[in-house]
Structure formats: C-alpha cells, structure tokens
Chains A and B, each alone.
Chain A
Amino acid sequence: MTPHRLLPHRPFAWRAFADRMEPGRAALNSLSNRTRWGRAAAIHAAGIKANDPREGKAMTFIRSLCVALALTGLAGMAAEAQTGPLRITITDGVIEPLPFAAPQFIAENPGAAEVAAQISQVVAADLTGTGLFREIPASAFISPVTSFEAPVAYADWKAINAQALITGAVSAGTDGRINVKFRLYDVFSGAPLGDGLQFGGGQGDWRRMAHKVADQIYARITGESPYFDSRVAYVAESGPKDQRLKRLAIMDYDGANVQYLTDSSTIVLAPRFSPSGDRVLYTSFETGFPRIKLMDLASVSSRALAELQGNMTFAPRFSPDGGTVVFSLSQDGNTDLYAMKLSSGATTRLTNAPSIETAPSFSPDGSKIVFESDRSGNQQLYVMSAGGGEATRISFGEGRYGTPVWSPRGDMVAFTKQNAGRFHIGVMRTDGSEERLLTASFLDEGPTWSPNGRVIMFTREGAGAAGVAQLYSVDISGRNLKAVPMQGGASDPDWSPLLP
C-alpha cells in the first residue's frame, strides 16, 4: 500500500524528467540520416537540452535572482539619473585668437587726440601680435563709444562676437604730461574684467604707457605674466657679410625706439641684460681678442669685466641675483667655465675638461647652470650645479645642440639645434625630455626668452651673400612665428626683464 501512496509522485517526477529529456531524445532519434557534422551538432544540442532537472531548477533560481538584482540596480540607477544634474565632460575645444574690440581711446581734451589714437594702435598691436587675440575692425562696431563713463551696450558687442572690450581715455595736461586710463570688459559675462587702471607720464613715454595697458589686458585674459613693456638688447648689423659692421643696440620688444650703445668701430657680440635691466654684459673685440665688458645703461659707460691678460673671455651671463657672472675663458687652447663675483672680482673655475665648455645659463633659482660642451665628441647640452662639479648630459637627439637658455619659469631650456644641414630653435624640459623643435631654416640660432617665458626671440639669417640676419619671435607652442619689425640687420638678441 505504501508504494501506491508514493506512486502518484513518482510518475510526476519522472514525467518532468522525461519532458526535459524529450528534445534531446527527439534529436537523437533523428541522427540516423545525419552526416558526421550534423550528428555532432545534434549531440551537442541534445546535451544542452538534456540536463539534470536539479541543475535546471538551480539555474532557474539563480537566473531569477540575477534578474531581480539587475532590475533593482537599474531602478536605482534610473532614480539617481533623474534626481541629479546632467553631467557631461568636454575634453576638446578650439584654439583660435580671442576676438576683442578696442575702440579708439577717448581724447578727453583736444591736446590728447593724437596720442590717444597712437596709444590705441599700440595696445591693439601688442595684443594681436601675440597671436592669441584678434582685433575686430572698427567698421564692424554697432555702437560707438563716445564717453569713457558711458554704459556698455553688451548686446551690441555680443552681436559682433567681441569677447573682450577695451575702453580707454587719454588726457593731456598743460605741463606736458598725459594720463591714460582703461577698462576691460568680459562681454559675454556682462561684467568688467578687473578694475579700471590709470597711468601717468610724460609725452615721450606714451609707448610705455600703451604697453602697460596692453600688459594688464594680456595678463587678465590669459593669466600669463606680461611682457610688452620690455626691451631687447641686440647686435645691429650693417654692410656685406664679409665686412659686417656690428653695434650694440637696444629697442622696445616690438622693434620701436631703437638706440645704439656703441659705435661700429669694434665688433661686439652677445649682449646680456642684468636681472634688473640696468646693465648689459657683452663681448668686445676692442683689443683684438674677445673680452667681456659691462655697460651701465644709465651712463652708457663700459668697463672690462676681468683683466686676464692673454686670455679670451666670452659668452657671459648674469646670475639671477645679479651678483655673479658666469662666462667662458679660453686659456692655452682650452675653454672652460668660470664664475666671477662682481663685488670682489674673485674668479672660480667651474669646469676642468679638455673639451670646449661655453654658453652657460643659470636656472632662475640660481642653483644650476646649463651649458654646451663637446666632451662627448660633438656639441651637447649639460646641466651642473652652479658651483661646478659633475655635469649631466640632457640632450640625446641627433645633431648638435648649443646656446642653451634656461626659461624664466624654470621648467624648460631653449636651444639651437643643427641637424641634417638645417638649424632649429627648440625647447626641452630641463631633464632633456619632451624636446620640441619650434623652427627650421638655413640658420636659426641664439634664442632668448620673453620675461614671462611664453615667447622666444632668436636670429634668423638667410643663405648666400645677400642673406641678412633678422630677429624673429615664436610662441613656445610653435605658433605665431614672425619677424620683429625693424630696419637693418640684427642678431644675438637678449630680452630684458619686465620694466618697472
């Protein structure tokens, strides 16, 4: 009797098992006329279907659990997505000059009309010359600016896509002095960008005041420190290549206000500003041998830096504190680096190698010196402590490297590279990594950094007898390569610090 009570369960269980087996059985039954491929496939299919019922239940349970968890997670995510803000990430944009409008500065009295126009032009030229800004021509303006205090019609400037607006005014006093004031607006934010500012000075300093205004605008928009109100010392060249006359000269960064510091009777080379900008080191061939001289710009008086008879001294450079000069000294056919304290004249030898060590340049903190040496067989760049000692080679690319200059920011070194018959101006990290060549031509050499470390000026000379040396500048991004507008030939530039 007991088995009878159990029987009703047994057929149910076996029926369920038989039902699960049915597809596999049916598949197996049809194997008689199959090929080997088909048979294998059928067996595989039967195997899939003819699983143990326990496994089927377990799998069903697990699947249900997974589905429930997934639904719960999705519901949570959906709820979260609907409650929080929409979040997006933008990783690329556009790189283009920022359009700005600079209506001519208002002349607040008749005597200021001419200088107001001139200042407006210089401000706009400074900004556009960086390659980072684009001036919107006045012909596109919708509403004129007639008063410095007039409210800004932001909508009108938005309509012409002016992202920055510069307004200014100039007044001339009876004592020959002028005042320049300006305001900068972020048009699309509808608010001033910083405070208004005013500069005062003599009539002859209107260019400096214009540079000061442009410096403020540049710094407020880009975040970089400014560099427009700065000067460049260089070697002015004239005459044919084989009889080139060279004079020491100084000019504004934009090529204006050229002033000559020496006559053309003696060849001069490599002027280098002091950190305060009031003195210049240079190499003179006055005695027939290269000798370093120091010129005071206020009095235009020069004196020999070191009285080392019979020796050649050249390639001088100030230390960041202005108290030390590092230079090359050639003695008995060997050239090494030396440092001299300007206060005492004490000289220290920094290198002692049979190779040529020259073109030293201090790091901004004064702790290290980068220089060029051919100790490896050809010219390469090396870094050593400012007190001398072991030097570490940092240039390993093809070709020859020379004239290294440490960036004012301290993060890069600019250099001249010669490779495959062409010259380049390049930059690299101070450990030699991330080398980038910014220019290429028949002859590019002698880089110098702008005071903010954003622009490099250098000498470019064309091939042939008619090739003239000119000064060029390029952004460290490699963009905005352009010639410095100036008359005559020029070489060996050195950028001054920002003027006070």
Chain B
Amino acid sequence: MGLMPMDRSERIGLIVSGGAHAGAILWLLVGGIFFSHDMPPPVATAEVSLMSQSDYDAMIAAAPKAATEAPPQPSLPEPPQAEPTPPAPEPDTQSDPAPQPQPEPQPEPDASPDVTEIAPPQAEVADTPPTPPTPPSEQVASADIVTPAPQPKPADIVAPTPNEAPDRPAEIAPDKTVEVAPEPTTDPLPEPQTEAAAPKETGDVLKTEENKDKVASAAPEASMRPRSKPAKPKPAEAAPAEARPAPTETAEAPAPTEAPTDAVADALSEALAGEQSDTPAPGTGTAASGPPMTGGEKDALVIAVKQCWNVGSLSTDALNTVVTIGVTMEPGGKPVSGSIHMIGFEGGSEASARLAYEAGRRAIIRCGQNGYPLPAEKYDQWKEVEITFDPEKMRMK
C-alpha cells in the first residue's frame, strides 16, 4: 500500500496528533516523577504468610475451645522477703579506728577549774620561712608570734629547690613500675610470626612485555625458612624486682594489677605488648588505622579507667566539677604520663577543677600501668584519648 498524498488539513491533523502523542508519551515516562503532586502515602509493607485451608483448620482445631475461657494466670514470682529494717548505724566502739594517738592522762575532775592550763596557744605554731641548707634556729624563734596564714606563702618552702631531690629519674620511669608490679607474669606470648614471615604477594604483579622476565625471576626459587622464635623479654629487667624485698602486705598491691586478672585481658595485653615491635612508629602514617572502634572496645577502656577513679577524698566542690583530660597513649596501651593535661572543666572553681583533674590523672596512670586493653590495629584511633570525668553519680544524695 503506497502512501497517499496528504492535503494541508490532514498534515495539520497529523502534526497535532503526533505532538499530542509525543507529549503523552513523555508525560508517561517522566511526568510521574516531576509532576506528581498527589503522591499517595507510602504503603506500609508487612511480611505476610499465606495459609492453606487445611492449615487453617488444623490451627482452629488446636486453638482453645472457649475463647472466653480465662487463660491460666501465670504464677507470680516469689515475693522477695521483706528486708529487715536496717538497724541504726550504731557505731562499733570496739572496732572504732578513731585515733587516740597518745592517750594522755586526763586530769581528775576537781573542784576548781584548771585555770593555769587554759591559756590559749600564743600562736607558737608559725610558718617559718625555710632556709635551704640549715635554717638557723634564731630565725624560727623570731617568727614565734607570726600567725601562720591559712595558705602557705611561697617563702615557706622548706627547700627552695624541692625538685632537685629526685636525682634518680630512672626510678620513676614507667618501666620500673612494671618491674616491681606483683602481677604474676606468665611467659609472654611469642610474637606473631605470620606477618613477618608471610611471603610477598606476587600474584598481583601485572605481567607485561617489559617485566615478564623480572616477574619470572621474582618467583621464589626456594621456600623461605621461617624466622627464629622471637626472643623472650629480657629477664634482667625483672631481676631487680625480685631482688627487692617483696612487700609484706600483699593487699597493698596496686588495684589495677588485680583488676585485669582476667585471662583474656592478660592475653590481649601481652599480645599488644608483643606487637609493639611490629607497630610502626606513631605519626609515620604507616600504622594501620583499622575499622572504627567498637562500642565494646570503648567500654573496655571506660571500665578499666573507672576502677581507679577514686573520688572518696574529693571535696564536695570537686564532686561538682566535670573535667576533661587529654592523654597520649603508647602503642602498648600505656598512657604517657607527661602528656596528661586538662582540656577543660565545667561546674566548679579552678581549685576544684585542679583536684578533679588530679584524681582523674591518678586514675589514668594507676590503671594504665600495664597498658589498657586497646586493639593494636586501631592505634591511630586511640593514640589520643580525651576522657571526661563526670562525678554526677558519685555526689552525695
């Protein structure tokens, strides 16, 4: 069938018809996205299961016969025994640890007052400015009537250079702390060899015309011998500790050494310590950052620190102060003592913030003596830690 010539009216109709169809098609394709103005509310999806008539009949048969029947009442749990009324906090005078340093003979009540004994102290106790080498007694005597100020004056320093005394800085090095720690040390786990001895991956080398010979020659001609067993930690470090007289009161052992007695925590700590040699130096950019810290890993750090956060001796003002402390961690999980600093505080004076900071610093150092249980592969994420100590739950209610 050949095409019939169209007159003008037919062409116009064709054009109109074509345009209308094209517009309709375009509207169908994209109009739903851009011009839809009355989107129905999203239909809630729900998982449904289809049930056959036989299944339904079986279920009905298994159902309780009378729907109105009261279901059996669950048995109530055994009520807790009434807690006896706590007795009044009667002080135990027998075991009273109250101090009676030197029980002095008390004067018998007599008929006349001890007039001669009640003269108030004439402020003999005086802050006397110390003279570093040998304070001459004349100076002290001359300061008898000086009323000591509540706060020590700078001149009251006993020795002008109290810090020069520690001539043995090595004794406060954290290494030594580890030596004398009474933590029963087991043999350290051998360092993981798999990483060091793993053969290089050659399969990813792209073979080209230029390097085809090199690639061929890069193949190991002989299997590599595994590396020797890593050396155990030097026993010489522990020797001085053994040579020292052991503390007679084992109960005085540091709390943190008892806290991580969990075998898993010990193994993790040792593993972390063993991997230190393989851990790149901080800041080189080669350390593996690993996946983000999990909540459990963060909680482990929180639990480890809070065991040593003792607020029992803090003032009531310090207990109203929230302090944030920053600390840099070693790859082994030990805090760098010199890096501990106060980032900020809220809710208290500077004096109370200082006390709160000192309590937090003690907690970080005490419980970090043996390293915190932190994942070594994520060192970049816990190299810098900010700990906020919020004593709200520890305040007197």
| Mask of A40-54 contacts with B, CB within 8 angstroms, 1/0 | 011011011001111
Considering only CB atoms, which chain A residue lies closest to B49 in the complex? A41
Distance between Cα atoms of A261 and B109 in the complex (Å) = 10
Asked whether B366 is an interface residue with its Cβ less than 8 Å from the other chain, the reply is yes
Contact A90 B302 (CB under 8 A): yes
Considering only CB atoms, which chain B residue lies closest to A132 in the complex? B313
Distance (whole angstroms) from the CB of B45 to the closest CB of chain A: 6
A222 contacts which chain B residues (CB < 8 A)? 313-315, 318, 355
Asked whether B141 is an interface residue with its Cβ less than 8 Å from the other chain, the reply is yes
Considering only CB atoms, which chain A residue lies closest to B93 in the complex? A483
B77 contacts which chain A residues (CB < 8 A)? none
Contact B393 A92 (CB under 8 A): yes
Distance between Cα atoms of A500 and B51 in the complex (Å) = 91
Considering only CB atoms, which chain B residue lies closest to A45 in the complex? B48
Asked whether A21 is an interface residue with its Cβ less than 8 Å from the other chain, the reply is no
A189-B298 CB under 8 A given contacts A95-B394, A158-B177, A160-B249: no
Distance between Cα atoms of A481 and B303 in the complex (Å) = 31
Stretch touching chain A among B186-194, B198-206, B207-215, B381-389: B381-389
A278 contacts which chain B residues (CB < 8 A)? 120
Asked whether A300 is an interface residue with its Cβ less than 8 Å from the other chain, the reply is yes
A118 contacts which chain B residues (CB < 8 A)? 101-102
Asked whether B260 is an interface residue with its Cβ less than 8 Å from the other chain, the reply is no
Q: Which of A95, A156, A483 contacts B180 (CB 8 A)?
A: A156
Q: Which of B91, B107, B128, B173 contacts A260 (CB 8 A)?
A: B107
Distance between Cα atoms of A163 and B361 in the complex (Å) = 12
Contact B305 A198 (CB under 8 A): no
Considering only CB atoms, which chain A residue lies closest to B311 in the complex? A93
Contact B394 A92 (CB under 8 A): yes
Considering only CB atoms, which chain A residue lies closest to B48 in the complex? A41
Asked whether B88 is an interface residue with its Cβ less than 8 Å from the other chain, the reply is yes
A261-B98 CB under 8 A given contacts A93-B394, A205-B124, A222-B314: no
A86-B358 CB under 8 A given contacts A161-B252, A177-B140, A256-B102: no
B residues 349-396 touching A (CB-CB < 8 Å)? 351-352, 354-355, 358, 361-363, 365-366, 369, 380-394, 396
B111 contacts which chain A residues (CB < 8 A)? 263-265
B124 contacts which chain A residues (CB < 8 A)? 200-202, 205, 208
A132-B312 CB under 8 A given contacts A90-B306, A439-B88: yes
Contact A186 B309 (CB under 8 A): no
| Mask of A112-149 contacts with B, CB within 8 angstroms, 1/0 | 00000010011011101100110011011010000001
Contact B306 A441 (CB under 8 A): no
Contact A197 B127 (CB under 8 A): yes
Asked whether A492 is an interface residue with its Cβ less than 8 Å from the other chain, the reply is no
A499 contacts which chain B residues (CB < 8 A)? 120-121
A300-B115 CB under 8 A given contacts A85-B385, A160-B249, A160-B253: yes
Does more than half of chain A's interface fall in helix, strand or loop, or is it mixed? mixed
Distance (whole angstroms) from the CB of A382 to the closest CB of chain B: 25
Asked whether A289 is an interface residue with its Cβ less than 8 Å from the other chain, the reply is no
Distance between Cα atoms of A95 and B396 in the complex (Å) = 11
Asked whether B80 is an interface residue with its Cβ less than 8 Å from the other chain, the reply is no
Considering only CB atoms, which chain B residue lies closest to A53 in the complex? B32
Asked whether A159 is an interface residue with its Cβ less than 8 Å from the other chain, the reply is yes
A-B pairs with beta carbons under 8 A, tally: 413
B156 contacts which chain A residues (CB < 8 A)? 195-198
B298 contacts which chain A residues (CB < 8 A)? 86, 88
A186 contacts which chain B residues (CB < 8 A)? 358, 362
Distance between Cα atoms of A61 and B32 in the complex (Å) = 11
Q: Which of B162, B176, B381 contacts A183 (CB 8 A)?
A: B162
Contact A90 B172 (CB under 8 A): no
Distance between Cα atoms of A149 and B308 in the complex (Å) = 30
A259 contacts which chain B residues (CB < 8 A)? 107, 114, 117-118
Stretch touching chain B among A31-39, A321-329, A337-345, A359-367: A31-39
B110 contacts which chain A residues (CB < 8 A)? 260, 263
Asked whether A13 is an interface residue with its Cβ less than 8 Å from the other chain, the reply is yes
Distance between Cα atoms of A483 and B99 in the complex (Å) = 10
Q: Which of A34, A42, A482 contacts B53 (CB 8 A)?
A: A34
B113 contacts which chain A residues (CB < 8 A)? 260-263, 300
B115 contacts which chain A residues (CB < 8 A)? 300
Asked whether A96 is an interface residue with its Cβ less than 8 Å from the other chain, the reply is yes
Distance (whole angstroms) from the CB of B142 to the closest CB of chain A: 10
Q: Which of B21, B98, B355, B394 contacts A485 (CB 8 A)?
A: B98
Asked whether A153 is an interface residue with its Cβ less than 8 Å from the other chain, the reply is yes
Asked whether B220 is an interface residue with its Cβ less than 8 Å from the other chain, the reply is no
B residues 104-149 touching A (CB-CB < 8 Å)? 104, 106-107, 109-115, 117-121, 123-130, 135, 137, 140-141, 143-144, 147-148
B223 contacts which chain A residues (CB < 8 A)? none
Asked whether B97 is an interface residue with its Cβ less than 8 Å from the other chain, the reply is yes
Contact B106 A488 (CB under 8 A): yes
| Mask of A165-190 contacts with B, CB within 8 angstroms, 1/0 | 00000000111010101110010111
A residues 443-488 touching B (CB-CB < 8 Å)? 454, 472, 476-478, 481-488
A201-B98 CB under 8 A given contacts A136-B249, A222-B315: no
Distance between Cα atoms of A309 and B365 in the complex (Å) = 69
Considering only CB atoms, which chain A residue lies closest to B289 in the complex? A82
Considering only CB atoms, which chain A residue lies closest to B244 in the complex? A142
Contact B252 A99 (CB under 8 A): yes
A142-B306 CB under 8 A given contacts A54-B32, A82-B289, A263-B113: no
A95-B109 CB under 8 A given contacts A140-B249, A205-B124: no
Contact A223 B99 (CB under 8 A): no
B118 contacts which chain A residues (CB < 8 A)? 250, 259, 261, 297, 300
B residues 26-82 touching A (CB-CB < 8 Å)? 28, 31-33, 36, 39-40, 42-43, 45-46, 48-53, 56
Q: Which of B36, B302, B362 contacts A189 (CB 8 A)?
A: B362
Distance between Cα atoms of A48 and B391 in the complex (Å) = 53
Contact A179 B140 (CB under 8 A): yes
Contact B180 A38 (CB under 8 A): no
Q: Which of A52, A81, A485 contacts B100 (CB 8 A)?
A: A485
Distance between Cα atoms of A30 and B247 in the complex (Å) = 84
B residues 284-301 touching A (CB-CB < 8 Å)? 289, 292-293, 298, 301
Distance (whole angstroms) from the CB of B122 to the closest CB of chain A: 9
Asked whether A354 is an interface residue with its Cβ less than 8 Å from the other chain, the reply is no
A54 contacts which chain B residues (CB < 8 A)? 31-33, 36
| Mask of B326-359 contacts with A, CB within 8 angstroms, 1/0 | 1000000000010000000000000110110010
A149-B97 CB under 8 A given contacts A212-B148, A260-B109, A261-B113: no
Considering only CB atoms, which chain B residue lies closest to A248 in the complex? B113
Distance (whole angstroms) from the CB of B386 to the closest CB of chain A: 5
Distance (whole angstroms) from the CB of A116 to the closest CB of chain B: 13
Contact A122 B101 (CB under 8 A): yes
Distance between Cα atoms of A205 and B186 in the complex (Å) = 54
Distance (whole angstroms) from the CB of B269 to the closest CB of chain A: 18
| Mask of A248-261 contacts with B, CB within 8 angstroms, 1/0 | 00100011111111
| Mask of B154-187 contacts with A, CB within 8 angstroms, 1/0 | 1011110011011110011100110111100000
Distance (whole angstroms) from the CB of B23 to the closest CB of chain A: 12
Contact B109 A236 (CB under 8 A): yes
Considering only CB atoms, which chain B residue lies closest to A96 in the complex? B312
Distance between Cα atoms of A222 and B28 in the complex (Å) = 78
Q: Known pairs A2-B21, A152-B166; list 8 more (Cβ under 8 Å).
A: A13-B28, A54-B32, A93-B307, A98-B312, A160-B249, A191-B163, A260-B114, A263-B113
Query: Ordered nearest first, which 7 A-B pairs have the shortest CB separation?
Result: A54-B32, A125-B99, A196-B158, A93-B309, A223-B315, A201-B124, A440-B88
A and B contact pairs by CB, cutoff 8 A, 28 listed = A33-B53, A35-B51, A91-B390, A92-B393, A94-B312, A95-B311, A97-B313, A132-B312, A151-B168, A155-B177, A159-B253, A160-B249, A161-B255, A162-B252, A173-B140, A177-B137, A179-B135, A189-B361, A195-B158, A198-B127, A199-B125, A200-B126, A202-B124, A222-B318, A223-B318, A254-B101, A297-B118, A440-B89
